[in-house]
Amino acid sequence: MVVSPIESRYRTEMNALFDESARIDSWMEVEVALARAHAKLGDMPSAAAEEIAAGAKKVTLSRVNEIEAEIHHDLMAMVKALAEQCPKYGGYVHYGATSYDIEDTATGLTMKRAIQWLRQRLLATRKVLGKRALETKALVCIGRTHGQHAVPTTYGMKFAIWYKEIERDLLRLEQAEEMISVGKMAGATGTMATFGGKGRRIQQLVMDELGLRPAEVSNQVVQRDRHAQVIFALALVAATLEKIAKEIRNLQRNEIQEVAEPFGAKQVGSSTMPQKRNPHKSERVCSLARLVRGSVAVAMENIALEHERDLTNSANERFIFADSFIITDYMASEMNKILGGLTFYPENIERNLALTGGAVLSERVMIELVKRGMGRQEAHELMRTANMEAFEGKKKLPAVLAGKKEVSKLFKKGEMEKLFDPKTYIGESVEIVEAAIEE
C-alpha cells in the first residue's frame, strides 16, 4: 500500500533517482570508487577493487534490508551485503571510511543528477513560455495592479516576464549544482587519520572518478549550507511556477475568463455542480509549492549541527531531499502541460479592456494635457475628478471630458477619441518582449 502521494499521484521520472534501490546503488558507486583509489595507491590489490566492483552489481536491496533489520544501521548493512559478494577480498570493503564519507558523497552525486534532470524540464518550460510570448506580443489586454484595472499591457509581457524568471531559476540551479557537486573521504571528524597520510590523494581520486569535487574541509559531514542552497533554489523554482499558476487561476475566473488551463472532453469539475471548470491543475501547483517552501526552513535548521556533527539532520533529510526534488519536477511537468494547452478568449480580453469606459486611458490623457500646456498636477487633479464624475454618474470618461472647456479647448475635433484606443497605448511592449526572448 502506497502512503506517500509522491509514490503514485505525483510520481515522475525523478523518483528513480531517490528510491531505495538508487540510494543503495549510489552508496556502492562510492564504495567502488574508494576501492579503486586504494588500489591505485597500493593499499589493496587491484584484484580486490575489481572484486568489489563486480560484487556491487550482485547486491540486492532485500538482502541489505535483512541485514539492517538485525544491526539497525543502513550504511553498515550495505557494507556487509557488499562484503558477502566478495569472498576473497571482502575485508577491504569500506576501508578507512566512515558512513558519511559514503552517504554524503552519494548525496552530492544524486543531487547533481537530479538538478541536471530538472534543468531539462525547466528548459522545456522556458521554451513554451518563449513561444507563447512571441505569439501574444501584440495581444493587448488590461493590466491590473492591486486587483484593479491599471493601463493596457500585452499577454506577451506576462509570458516574457515568466520566461526571464525561469531563466534566472536555471542560473540558480546551475549555481546550486556547483555548490552541491562535492564529496568527502575524510573519516570520522574530517582529519583523514585512517588513511595513513594518503587521505587527500584518496579523496581526490574518488571524486575524480565520480565527477565531483572534494570538499575543501569537512568534519564528519559535508556542511549543510550546501544542501540548504539546493533546497532554496528548488523553492524559488516552485515559487515561479506558483506565480504562473496563480495568474492563470485568476484570469480563469468567470468574471474575467481571459485564459483557461486545458479542460478535457470528459473532465469533471465538481461532483455536484456539472457546470464547473475548475483550474485544478494550477491550484495543485500552488498547493505543492507550499511544501517545497516548507523544506527550506528544515534545511536551514540542519546547518547548525553540534560539534563535529550530530544526527538531527539525518531523519528529516530522508524526506526533504527526495520530496523537494520530486514535487518540483512534478510541478514543472504539470506547468508544461498547462502552458502548452492554454486557451485564450479574445472576446473577453476585449470586453475587459473596455469595461471601465475609457478610465484606463486616464494616464495617457493626463500626459497629453501636460504636453499641450496644462500643469502636471492640474492635469492629474482634473482627470481624477473627471473619473469620479464618470464613475458616480455611470458615464464613459470621454463623454465627461468632452463637457469640460479646459480640456476641449486643447484638442481639435477627433483628437481626443484617438487617445482612447487601448491598442495604441502599449508603449514599447512588443520590442521589450522580442528583446527578452531573443536575448
pLDDT in tens, 97-149: 999 999 999 999 999 999 999 999 999 999 999 999 999 999 999 999 999 99
Q: What is the average pLDDT across 21-42?
A: 98
Active site residue 146: yes
Give the pLDDT score at 270: 77
Half-sphere exposure of 270 (CA within 13 A, CB side): 8
Read off the pLDDT of residues 22-31 as tens digits, 9 standing for 90 and up: 999 999 999 9
| Location of C-alpha cell 475609457 | 358
Residues 156/161/163/164 CA torsion (nearest 10 deg):
140
C-alpha cell at 55: 560484487
411: phi then psi, degrees, rounded to nearest 5: -125, 140
- The answer to whether 30 touches 107, Cβ cutoff 8 Å, is no
The answer on pLDDT for 203 being more than 80 is yes
pLDDT for residue 140: 98
DSSP H or E run through 112: helix 99-135
Q: Please tell me the pTM assigned to this model.
A: 0.94
Name the region of 412 (left: φ>0; alpha: ψ -120 to 50; beta: rest). beta
Catalytic, out of 270, 307, 324, 429? 270
pLDDT in tens, 138-187: 999 999 999 999 999 999 999 999 999 999 999 999 999 999 999 999 99
> Is the per-residue pLDDT at 265 higher than 80?
no
Tell me: pLDDT of 382 over 90.
yes
pLDDT at 1: 72
User: Which residue type occupies 221?
Assistant: V
- Catalytic member of 8, 62, 72, 146: 146
pLDDT of residue 273: 82
Q: In the annotation, is 270 catalytic?
A: yes
Residue 322 confidence class, pLDDT cut points 50, 70, 90: very high
